[in-house]
Amino acid sequence: MNAHHADLAAIGVAARLLEAGELVAFPTETVYGLGADAENPTAIAKIYAAKSRPSNHPVIVHIASHAEAARWAADLPEQAHRLIAAFWPGPLTLIVKRAASISAAVSGGQDTIGLRCPSHPVAQALMHAFKNGKGGIAAPSANKFGHVSPTTAQHVRDEFGADGCGPVRCVLEGGQSTVGIESTIVDLSRMATLGPVLLRPGSISVDAIEAIIGLRPMAPDQGAPRVSGSLQSHYAPRSPVALVASADCATTLRALLERGRSVAVISTGAAQPETSGRQAAAVVSLPAEPSGYAHGLYAALRQLDAIGADLILVEAPPRDAAWSGVWDRLQRAAHDSTGTLQSLLA
């Protein structure tokens, strides 16, 4: 752990709060989570209330190790063991059949459960301190329902208020999340009939999963369990977002500025185009490779959202598979803004 990480005393306090049924936000390598004791339905209800999240959307249970997985699952297929061995601790969530002893409250009433073992050292220390490493921490991303996920402790406070003032009793510090977008979710609950299904793309790719289990996860079907992150408008900032092909970015920006629009820009490296004296309200440049881009994406969306520009113009990244997690989040961020660019140009 480093200077930006909560110390063991703070982590111990957080573990006791969780054991007492309170909500605690904590860092993971993907995004910050809003945690509650996964075996306490009253505590889980507090998560749904704090997030204004519909109660039929299941939450992921975070556990300390591979050894703990069996207690939560009715059945762990052989593919689950192999994926866990390859990717845990890390940004992979597995959906498996839920053990009968585990409350349906945690999985939104479904007969499955999402399991993940995060690698962030503060998350690891918290899971080991909580119930002596034998518990499960139910944790969605620590944002209001439908909003951009937090990648710093300050983002969490921006969502829910200062520690102890709102529903969140404490926010553990852990620096900026390294991965920056939510975990890859693979559904293994219907192996016999469907095989593995990719419910949410993330930094662990379909290719990497196929390399371990010899089966390629397919895209979600109609019968797939509900994933709130798969609602089309999830991860959206308040300002409209438009994704524009890289080759058209400079022309589009110039046209918007000529019409007096205020525009915030997310680009991949290139300097702001010459706009005959007019300036974009702000420009954030993200690395032109997918892991660096994902790392900075949510912080960039939050920073630019705060400006209140007419539009956040995003230079579309390449279309190849390595960018699929980033593309997924960008398309959802832009979903509710369809038509905004055209009307601003009119």
Short-list 203, 215, 231, 197, CA closest to 321:
203
Distance in Å, CB of 242 to Mg ion, minimum? 23
* Binding of residue 69 to ligand TXA (CB under 6 A): no
* Binding of residue 83 to ligand TXA (CB under 6 A): no
Residue recorded with tokens 């992150």 = 229
Confirm if 270 and 336 have CB atoms less than 8 A apart: no
Piece of 57-65, 165-173, 252-260, 321-329 that binds ligand TXA (CB under 6 A)? 57-65
Q: How far is CA 23 from the centre of its chain?
A: 18
Confirm if 148 and 237 have CB atoms less than 8 A apart: yes
Short-list 120, 159, 166, CA closest to 237:
159
CB atoms within 10 A of CB 173: 18
Short-list 203, 216, 240, CA closest to 328:
203
Nearer to ligand TXA, 51 or 261 (CB): 51
What 3-state DSSP class applies to 201? coil
Confirm if 217 and 125 have CB atoms less than 8 A apart: no
Distance in Å, CB of 28 to ligand TXA, minimum? 5
Distance in Å, CB of 149 to Mg ion, minimum? 5
Show the site string, 219-258: x = touches ligand TXA by CB under 6 A, - = not: ------xxxxx-----------------------------
Residue 58 backbone zone (phi > 0: left; psi -120 to 50: alpha; other: beta) = beta
Among 40, 124, 141, 205, the residue binding ligand TXA under the rule CB under 6 A is 141
Nearer to ligand TXA, 62 or 169 (CB): 62
Which residues ranging from 92 to 131 are in contact with ligand TXA (CB under 6 A)? Answer: 93, 95, 107, 110, 112-114, 116, 118
* Binding of residue 141 to Mg ion (CB under 5 A): yes
Piece of 135-143, 249-257, 262-270, 293-301 that binds ligand TXA (CB under 6 A)? 135-143
Calpha distance 334→346 (Å, rounded): 19
Among 11, 24, 25, 30, the residue binding ligand TXA under the rule CB under 6 A is 30
Residues forming the site for Mg ion (CB under 5 A): 141
